[in-house]
A and B are shown apart, each in its own frame.
Chain A
Amino acid sequence: MLLTVNGTPVFVHTGGRDVDLSRPAVVLIHGAGMDHSVWSLQSRYLAHHGRSVLAVDLPGHGRSGGAPLDSIAAMADWVAALLDAAGLERAALIGHSMGALVALDTAARHGSRVEAVALLGVAERMPVHPDLLAAARDGDPSAIEMVIGWGHGPRGHGGGQGGGCPTPGLALIPGGRRLMAAVKPGVLGVDLAACNDYGNGADAARALACPALFLLGALDKMTPAKAGRALAARAASAQVVVVPQTGHMVMTEAPDATLDALAAFLSLRRG
């Protein structure tokens, strides 16, 4: 589905069912240099479990127009504008990595619009190594290699107790690599700089007034579970789920655990 947000066309994947304003809505927000397709299983599941689903392509990403937004706050304001454009008063927000910061910051800036937040692969700060920032800014392919390499746990890399993509026949690391390679030049650099510059995580977590789920990969090297727990501890009431044998790409490495946690958190029922 295409919406117009702040004058720019925005693509929203709805999980195989049209948005129905009588159902509670969920907005899924992808991470740096990615798009709505990282949520393929979750968006279909949510859409068939009572929710209207808006898995967005952030500006400049995937099928959306416009330029990438250069701060988490700007992305948070954009999410509020998206809700306006879709005719939604409130929605639950599910975000991964950069998208988790966006969900958190939207709850801080537009609390009345946010029913709940589920934050995957999240930490109070997401400092990005200067080498990675520079490579991403210059469009150097090594940036994608770093994100994909550090981003995946054993389900992607194989070896040890890992190995074995949950979806039969797919391979997570080549899949992630191709997804990121398809993003327009320069977008990853803007995204990573926005993550690096974000400093409002602690305050935003303290101010959380809605239910919050922190869904963390036990083997996450980018936003270690310890950092995710520390952020959750700042929130008045947060539920923490740490998924074993899982890296930063929680929803693709561990889709069943992700769905189970979301189903419990949002009290989902088929329908």
Chain B
Amino acid sequence: MAGAKFLKFDTQSLHAGQRPDPATGARAVPIHLTSSYVFSDVDQAAALFNLERPGHIYSRISNPTVAVLEERLATLEGGVGAVCTASGQAALTLAIMTLMGAGGHIVASSSIYGGSRNLLAYTLPRFGITTSFVHPRDLDGLRAAIRPETRLVFGEVLGNPGLEVLDVPKVAAIAHEAGVPLLIDSTFTTPYLCRPFEHGADLVMHSCTKWLGGHGTAIGGVVIDGGRFDWEASGKFPTLTEPYAGYHGIDFAEEYGPAAFIMRARAEGLRDFGACMSPMNAFQILQGVETLPLRMKGHIHNTRKVVGFLEGELYSDKGGKPGAAAGAVAWVSYPELVDHPDHALASRLLPRGAGSIISFGIRGTGEGGSREAGRRFIEALTLFSHLANVGDAKSLVIHPASTTHAQLDAEALAASGVGEDMIRLSIGLEDCDDLIDDLKQALRAATKG
């Protein structure tokens, strides 16, 4: 018997979740800018409201354009379903609110997006949800931080901005021992580079704003359900295993089996908290997802070239011979480099490439040290845009200590692996020779000062 055939990743990036519009024949996904949907009769209306028939009622809860993106991203990740949200932040919030209430506790990697850290460290405690942060390489510490009231383990495949690689299979095993799911923020890797469900993760979220959208045009997020976590066996998730009065006593695990989490996230979280994605944004992000495989190949190609260039700048002697005088670059961090602490792990988890973010340290020579050299460097760049985003088709640069991580004190900054000299590059799709020329002249300007 011939093995079953499934469409492959690149094909799914273009087709999953969509067919030509039956009404018009439109090949592209139509933008359904409508708040609501006409019921065919009273019984159909009642059936839709009572989750007896599939379909759309009101665009806060679901929308046909957004649904294409949701099914496409679920398919690319290998998840049973997805909910798109107004932003990546909303995706993380929705995941947490679906899993726990006041009294809940989260164990999170300390190396995560500054906004996520803010939410967990400063904002959620106001709602009775607290978080313990553990360095992503400290697996014993992670195990020790789990408490009886822990309801979630959370981390990023590639730490932000330190580029630590999370050992997803081991962290998943630790979470599962404790009867708790693992949520991975996979924004920096996208399903093209890493599919966390294949490594044991239970839930995945993205800021679609980044590589998925890929053009810096739309803010959006998604949370995807791997469908494998046994909520019933864990016994720690009454939101999923006990009757919910908000839907006439529905028990999501009983009703939907593997799709319990994602159904509750929509039926409660989108309905009540309301942080839905607009169809315009879904359309923009879909345009990005269509070329995700092509773009990720380009991002990785350019990133490897730029890493090679920066390594050459470690020494004033461009041959890089040991003993040569120091160059403009103090250090380079990229998980594919052999001296990166997670090099071996990266080659296992990220064989197609370790993302398109590079961090490096700028050497401060003159007055003001590395902070001042960093300022001169960023201001001298012409192609790289100085802004607070990553994953655009255009190359971007930022100095985390003064921007994304500025709200952290020195200790938290150090814990997040952010030094004052750290520059973060998000490598885009320009010709890499042009990128290298731009970096070259800006490094010269920075060190001349």
Which A residues lie at the B interface, using CB under 8 A? 13, 16, 35, 37, 40-41, 44-45, 48, 62-63, 129-132, 142, 145-146, 148-150, 154, 157-171, 173-175, 178-179, 181-182, 255-256, 259, 270
Contacts and interface: CB of A to CB of B under 8 A. Distances in A.
A173 B226 CA distance: 12
A270 B43 CA distance: 7
A163 to B, nearest CB: 4
Contacts of B152: none
A189 to B, nearest CB: 15
Nearest to A13: B254
A165 B17 contact: yes
Nearest to B51: A44
Nearest to B47: A45
Contacts of B442: none
B118 to A, nearest CB: 28
Nearest to B222: A169
Interface string B330-345: 0000000000000000
A170 B70 CA distance: 8
Contact of B53 (A148, A165, A256): A256
B249 interface: yes
B83 interface: yes
B6 A170 contact: no
Contacts of B55: 166, 168, 256
Contacts of A149: 3-6
Contact of B52 (A158, A160, A164, A259): A259
Interface stretch (B73-81, B124-132, B309-317, B373-381): B73-81
Of all A-B residue pairs in the complex, the 8 with the closest CB atoms, nearest first, are A149-B4, A37-B257, A178-B227, A168-B62, A129-B1, A45-B52, A178-B258, A168-B67
Residue among B55, B248, B258 with max Cβ neighbours from chain A (10 Å): B258
Given A164-B71, A170-B262, 10 more contacts: A16-B250, A145-B4, A149-B3, A150-B4, A169-B74, A169-B82, A174-B80, A178-B228, A255-B54, A256-B54
Contacts of B5: 149
Given A13-B255, A48-B50, A159 B15 contact: yes
B46 interface: yes
Interface of B: 1, 3-7, 11-12, 15-20, 43, 46-47, 50-56, 62-64, 66-68, 70-71, 74-75, 78-84, 226-228, 230, 232, 248-250, 254-259, 262, 266
A205 B170 CA distance: 54
A106 to B, nearest CB: 25
Residue among B11, B18, B64 with max Cβ neighbours from chain A (10 Å): B18
Nearest to B76: A171
Given A160-B19, A163-B16, A166-B54, A171 B75 contact: yes
Given A44-B52, A169-B266, A170-B80, A175 B1 contact: no
Contacts of A178: 80, 226-228, 257-258
B20 A161 contact: yes
A131 B6 CA distance: 19
Residue among B18, B67, B68, B71 with max Cβ neighbours from chain A (10 Å): B71
B53 A174 contact: no
Given A132-B1, A163-B17, A174-B74, A179 B257 contact: yes
A164 B68 contact: yes
Contacts of B56: 168
B332 to A, nearest CB: 38
Contacts of B228: 178, 181-182
Nearest to A62: B257
Contact of A163 (B3, B15, B50): B15
Contact of B78 (A37, A40, A148, A174): A174
A146 B4 CA distance: 5
A170 B225 CA distance: 9
Nearest to B67: A168
Contact of A171 (B4, B53, B79): B79
A225 to B, nearest CB: 19
A52 to B, nearest CB: 16
Contacts of A182: 228, 230, 257-258
A159 B7 contact: yes
B4 A169 contact: no
A148 B11 contact: no
Contacts of A173: 6, 75
Nearest to A165: B71
Contact of B4 (A148, A164, A170, A256): A148
A158 B15 contact: yes
Contacts of A158: 7, 12, 15-19, 75
A268 to B, nearest CB: 9
Contacts of B227: 174-175, 178
B53 A45 contact: yes
A136 to B, nearest CB: 12
Residue among A130, A161, A164, A255 with max Cβ neighbours from chain B (10 Å): A164
Given A44-B52, A168-B54, A256-B53, A175 B20 contact: no
B3 A145 contact: yes
Contacts of A163: 15-19
B3 to A, nearest CB: 7
A41 B63 CA distance: 19
B81 A175 contact: yes
Contacts of A154: 19
Given A164-B68, A170-B74, A174-B75, A157 B52 contact: no
Contacts of A169: 62, 67, 70-71, 74, 81-84, 262, 266
Given A132-B1, A149-B6, A41 B52 contact: yes
A213 B222 CA distance: 41
Contacts of A63: 232
Contacts of B226: 178
B19 A162 contact: yes
A92 B51 CA distance: 22
Contacts of A16: 50, 248-250, 255
Contacts of B67: 164, 168-169
Contacts of B19: 154, 158, 160-164
Given A37-B256, A149-B5, A170 B53 contact: no
A178 B258 CA distance: 6
